[in-house]
Amino acid sequence: MADAASLHAPPPAGATGVLVLADGHVAWGKGFGAEGSAVGEVCFNTAMTGYEEVMTDPSYAGQIVTFTFPHIGNVGVNEEDVESHVDGAVGCVVREDLTAPSNFRSTGTFGEWMAAKGKIGLSGVDTRALTRRIRLSGAPNAVIAHSKDGKFDIPALLKQAREWPGLEGMDLAKVVSRTAREEWNGGPWTLGQGYAQADGAKKPHVVALDFGAKDNIFRNLVKAGAHVTVVPGNTSLDEVMALSPAGVFLSNGPGDPAATGEYAVPVIQGLLERDVPVFGICLGHQMLGLAAGAKTTKMHQGHRGANHPVKRLEDGVVEITSMNHGFAIDNTALPDNVEETHVSLFDGSNCGIAIKGKKAFGVQYHPEASPGPQDSFYLFQKFVENLS
């Protein structure tokens, strides 16, 4: 990481990419993927695998992902590992130059894929230093830029980073949500066979509110025994109830839960009043908390990675989880009707709640990401059991 004095200095020889933080710090490197510039919040992800899933997770909308694992691109890319076809992360920062794919499932390179998706990458950065900066000072706003000729207007990029309002108060769910109803038919994946199809048998009907969902969530709901209809995140209570749901799922998504909650929380409150079973993940979990009277707060650095230990309070079992969130339910002042069910063993932050007297619960982490790998599948089973 260069210091503020480097703002007006020429780029190092061979530099074709740059990350300009709002505090004036600059990181030079080699650009890859799409050319141009993009603004967002810089975060870090500690997972050692799954970079394609990370970059296609809608929860990363408006963010630039720093990968702490140095070797990115080594398994290439393929269409089966895409989590969503809407915008996810705007760019990424990596330590080493992209390595060539070495995997029989690969159908292309990560750099070519990034370019096709319009995402900007930057390699050759001291990602340890950048991660330490985020841990000490919080997730900063920044601009990532790539130009093959190595020419950048650094003061203009700094101005763009400083003028971006940040994620707090921003409703990004409306940007990444589906715009039309969809009957979900996909099932779990198996090697050599791909994704299974729903068998068409009569099963409990789950209506899923899409705030920026990962597709594997719906596959796990099917695996657990549900029939799933996915609807836009701004679907009204009357429209949801017209589908005669046995239960309602609240998906993950990006941005500030309080902003998205302006239209989603009244719907969730209506579901709770009608005793409809509810299950929320990540943003959906946070908005379930808001609907029950809890508060959410912006975290200093957030939790992102596939190696987060979470303690289940009812029996002390520790689940190894995948996380991606920069906001959390404030567990220092939970209302009487909200029971805390899970906590992070990293910092004690809330990772799960249940609404007392209701078949409604949520978790902050991502059980569908299978980091345990099956530590948390029971949550999908629990939800489907609640539907009977």
CATH number at residue 21: 3.50.30.20
Q: Are residues 190 and 156 in the same domain?
A: no
Structural contact between residues 62 and 41, judged by C-beta atoms closer than 8 angstroms: yes
Q: Are 354 and 268 in contact, with CB atoms under 8 Å apart?
A: no
Q: Is the Cβ–Cβ distance between 310 and 343 less than 8 Å?
A: yes
Place of tokens 């209302």: 335
Is residue 158 located within the same domain as residue 209? Answer: no
Residues 65 and 36 occupy one common structural domain: yes
Q: Which residues are catalytic?
A: 282, 366, 368
Whole-angstrom distance, CA of residue 321 vs CA of residue 323: 6
182 and 150, same domain (yes or no):
no
Is residue 180 in a domain?
yes
pLDDT at 200: 67
pLDDT of res. 83: 95
Whether residue 187 is found in the same domain as residue 279 = yes
How far CA 172 is from CA of 87, 133, 210, 211, 337, in Å, comes to 10, 26, 12, 8, 29
State which residues of the chain have pLDDT below 50.
1-5
List, in sequence order, every beta strand (DSSP E) within the chain.
Answer: 17-21, 26-33, 36-45, 63-67, 91-93, 120-123, 141-146, 182-184, 186-190, 194-197, 205-210, 227-232, 247-250, 278-281, 296-312, 318-329, 338-344, 350-355, 360-363
Whether 119 is in a domain gets the answer: yes
- Considering its fold, how many domains does the chain have in total? 2
Beta strand pairing call for 350-355 and 338-344: antiparallel
C-beta separation of 86 from 176 below 8 A = yes
Is 111 a domain residue? yes
User: Are residue 239 and residue 313 in the same domain, yes or no?
Assistant: yes
Query: Are residues 145 and 287 part of one domain?
Result: no
User: Does 180 lie in the same domain as 159?
Assistant: no
Among 112, 144, 163, the domain boundary falls at 163
Residues 305 and 212 in one domain: yes
Domain match, 124 and 202 both: no
| Cα–Cα distance, 128 to 138 (Å, whole number) | 15
Q: Which domain holds residue 147?
A: 4-163
Asked whether residue 364 is assigned to any structural domain, the reply reads yes
> Which of 108, 136, 163 represents a domain boundary (last residue)?
163
Predicted confidence (pLDDT) per residue in 255-284, tens digit: 999 999 999 999 999 999 999 999 999 999
168 located within any domain = no
pLDDT at 1: 42
Report if residue 182 sits inside a domain: yes
Residue 184 CA to residue 277 CA, distance in Å, equals 19
H/E segment holding residue 219: helix 215-224
**CATH number of the domain within which 201 lies:** 3.40.50.880
Q: Would 186 be classed as within a structural domain?
A: yes
pTM summary value = 0.96
Co-location of 244 and 157 in the same domain: no
Residue ending a domain, among 140, 163, 186, is 163
Return the structure tokens found at 175. 């940007």
Residue pLDDT, tens place only, 213-263 = 999 999 999 999 999 999 999 999 999 999 999 999 999 999 999 999 999
**Residue 353 lies inside a defined structural domain of this protein:** yes
23: left (phi over 0), alpha (psi -120 to 50) or beta: alpha
Q: Are residues 177 and 313 in the same domain?
A: yes
- CB count in 10 Å sphere of residue 3: 9
pLDDT score at 2 = 42
